[in-house]
């Protein structure tokens, strides 16, 4: 094959481009329905999976009350660090990569109790158990018991005079 033939081939091909385009368009049109279907299906399956995961009950959530001392004076770095700890704690919620973002968020709540402002951090149990030990230096993290005294069982005391 010499140069002339090569050039001729190119010219032919270029001259026939509309034909090629038409061919490609025909093929695409004739196959579009199942390509689209496959794409939609895959998307649907993923969406379904995510929905199924998020549809389940909200994970058990706990709350910690953050009680600062009168000397609490954090540096910006400490706060960013606490932000990192929150981000890290969130990873403990689930090990599944497709886990839903809808149920696992951490919540910072400012509420008032008896007219006093207090801050709480709420979130899934697992995240909070990690976060519980990663607080600020001058802040006491106190679990908020949803039902108050329930955490303390009535003690069963057996003294020596009864057992003997």
Partner 1 sequence: MTIAPDPTAAPPVNLTKPEADDPGQPAAQEMHYARAELALALPDQLALREVPLTPDPLEALANAVADIREDLGESADVVLDLLPIAPTRVSSRRRRLLAQARRNPADRFGFDLSAVMSEIATEMKGNQGDGARQRSPQAQRAHGATDTKAALGKLAPGAEPVFSMQLLVRTCARDEYRARMILDQVLAALEPWSGENHLRPVGLHLGVTRLRADHWIYRSKFDRRFETGLFVPRRHSWVTAQEIAGLLKPPTKHNMAPNITRSGGVVPPPPAALPTWTGQHGLLPLGWVAKSGGGERLAGVPLRYLLFALFLGKSGFGKTEMSLVQAIALAHNGFGMLFLDPHGDGWIRARPYLAHKELADRIWEIDLTSPELDKMVGSWNPLSMERRREAEIPDIVQYIVTGFAAAVGWNDASARAKTILTRAVESLVHLSWQVCQAGRPDLAPTVFQIRTILTDPVWRTGVLPYLPKDVRDFWEQTFPGYSKEAIPIVIGIIERLSSSNAIKAFLGSSRSTYDIRHAMDTGKIVFVCPAGTGDVDRIISSLLIYDLFRAGLSRRDTPPDQRRDFYSFIDELTSVDGASKGTLAQITEQLRKYNVKLLAMTQMAQRLSPTTRQGLLQNLSILSTTASDIDEATLVTRRWGKKVAPDTIVQLNRYNYVMSVTLDGGTTDPFRVRGASVEDLYGDYYRPQNEERLARAIDENLQRRTVRDILTDLRRLDSRLRAFILTLPVPPDDGPTIGDAPCDDEGPHGPADGPGPAVAAAKPRVHDSEGTVISGGRPDPEDETPDNVHPINPHQNQSRLG
Contact (CB, 8 A) for 66 and 135: yes
Q: Which residues contact 141 (CB under 8 A, 6 or more apart)?
A: 64, 65, 66, 67, 132, 135
- Binder among 92, 94, 99, 118 for partner 1 (CB under 8 A): 118
**Residue 150 DSSP label:** G
Q: Work out whether 82 is an interface residue with partner 1 (CB under 8 A).
A: yes
- By CB atoms closer than 10 A (0-12, 13-18, 19+), residue 46 is exposed
Candidates 4, 14, 76, 96: give the one binding partner 1 (CB under 8 A). Answer: 76
56 forms part of the interface with partner 1 (CB under 8 A):
no
User: Nearest 5°: phi and psi at 157?
Assistant: -100, 125
Binds partner 1 by CB under 8 A, chosen from 20, 22, 55, 107: 107
Q: Is 108 in the site for partner 1 (CB under 8 A)?
A: yes
What is the footprint of partner 1 within residues 1-40 (CB under 8 A)? none
> Which positions touch partner 1 (CB under 8 A)?
58, 61, 63, 65-74, 76, 78-80, 82-84, 86-87, 90-91, 101-119, 122-123, 136-140, 142-149, 151-152, 154-162, 164
């Amino acid at each position: 094959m010499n140069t002339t033939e090569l050039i001729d081939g190119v010219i032919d091909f270029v001259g026939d481009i509309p034909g090629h385009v038409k061919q490609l368009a025909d093929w695409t049109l004739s196959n579009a329905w199942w390509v689209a279907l496959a794409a939609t299906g895959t998307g649907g399956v993923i969406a379904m999976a995510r929905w199924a995961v998020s549809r389940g009950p909200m994970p058990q959530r706990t709350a910690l009350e953050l009680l600062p001392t009168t000397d609490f004076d954090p540096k910006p770095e400490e706060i960013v660090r606490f932000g990192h700890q929150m981000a890290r704690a969130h990873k403990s919620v689930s090990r599944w990569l497709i886990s839903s973002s809808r149920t696992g968020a951490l919540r910072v709540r400012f509420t008032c109790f008896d007219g006093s402002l207090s801050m709480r951090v709420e979130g899934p149990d697992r995240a909070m158990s990690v976060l519980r030990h990663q607080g600020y230096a001058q802040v006491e993290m106190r679990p908020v018991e949803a039902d108050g005294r329930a955490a303390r069982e009535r003690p069963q005391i057996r003294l020596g005079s009864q057992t003997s």
